[in-house]
Amino acid sequence: MPVTLEGGCSVSQMREGESLSQGTLRVWNRIGRETGAQAISLRVIEFSPGLSPAIQNDDCDEILYVLDREFERGHPASPSEQSERQDPSATVMIDGARYPIDSDTGIYIRPKQTFALNNPGPTSILLISSQCPDPNRAVQFVNTAINQVDSKNNDVPLVRLADQKAQPTADRWYRVLIDDKVGSAQVTQFVGSIPPGRAPDHFHHYEEVLFILKGEGRMWAGETNTPISSGSCIYLPKGQVHCVENTGDGELRLLGLFYPAGSPSVRYDV
């Protein structure tokens, strides 16, 4: 069951509750206006092998992240490993243009764009989706012909984690994937690495969602806390004092998205 911490911070697991099914898709809505968020959402989308139904984005930015195929086995690839391992047979179609996708890749879907995913299998592909501002309605499936024409556009809306330079902050690092350089002026998507231990409590002037990619720890909100591990979905209200504690012996890695956009290095200590 989802856990609610101080200030409305919430922690749940990626497949808690019922899912919405359509064709090769299953969707779990984890965070959104209906769960108490003001303008940000997080949902988990599972694509079974085959060509998925087409999804039309609402009048908002939608940011996707392709999880490593080994994610649920607990062995996500490092950025260096990912740079050597590509699977060009998996593709995302965005408004008629086809783009090969790798694991650990951010994808920017513009307002009103339509996208679908072709998964050659043999296993499912998991995507983490965030819409800002959250339209607060069900996934919009559309009946449209899915063209599979290779994109000729130089403005590619995909960013691979392995291609992004690590930005150090004290004993941590983060890599920004989706921001205004790709076209999203509203949302920032990043992957961060946290070493064992607990950082100082802090807060931000934006709403944030986190998805734990690797490791285990505790999510602190004020004086309250709860365990987190791979697959945990976290909502952080704007201004809420919090920190992520890594209670393991190795790296804790997380995917973060926040709205409105900014730098992951900006925080306000208490």
Set out the domains of the chain in order of their start, with CATH numbers: 18-155 (2.60.120.10), 161-269 (2.60.120.10)
Tell me how far CA of residue 163 lies from CA of 80, 83, 84, 176, 256, in angstroms: 9, 8, 11, 10, 17
Select from 55, 134, 122 the least CA-distant residue to 92: 55
pLDDT at 70: 76
Q: Which residues, 6+ apart, have CB-to-CB distance to 73 below 8 Å?
A: none
* Dihedral (Cα; 144, 146, 147, 152), 10-degree rounding: 100
pLDDT at 44: 98
pLDDT at 154: 59
3-state secondary structure of 242: strand
Backbone φ, ψ for residue 35 (5° rounding): -105, 5
Tokens 């709205």 sit at which residue? 259
pLDDT at 84: 42
pLDDT at 47: 96
Select from 153, 64, 68, 160 the least CA-distant residue to 115: 64
Q: What is the pLDDT along the chain (270 residues), one digit of tens a residue?
A: 899 999 999 999 999 999 999 999 999 999 999 999 999 999 999 999 999 999 999 999 999 999 988 786 654 455 554 444 444 589 999 998 999 999 999 999 999 999 999 999 999 999 999 999 999 999 999 986 565 556 656 578 999 999 999 999 878 899 999 999 999 999 999 999 999 999 889 999 999 999 999 999 999 999 999 999 999 999 999 999 999 999 999 999 999 999 999 989 888 888
Indicate the burial class of 107 (C-beta count within 10 angstroms; 0-12, 13-18, 19 or more): buried
pLDDT at 81: 46
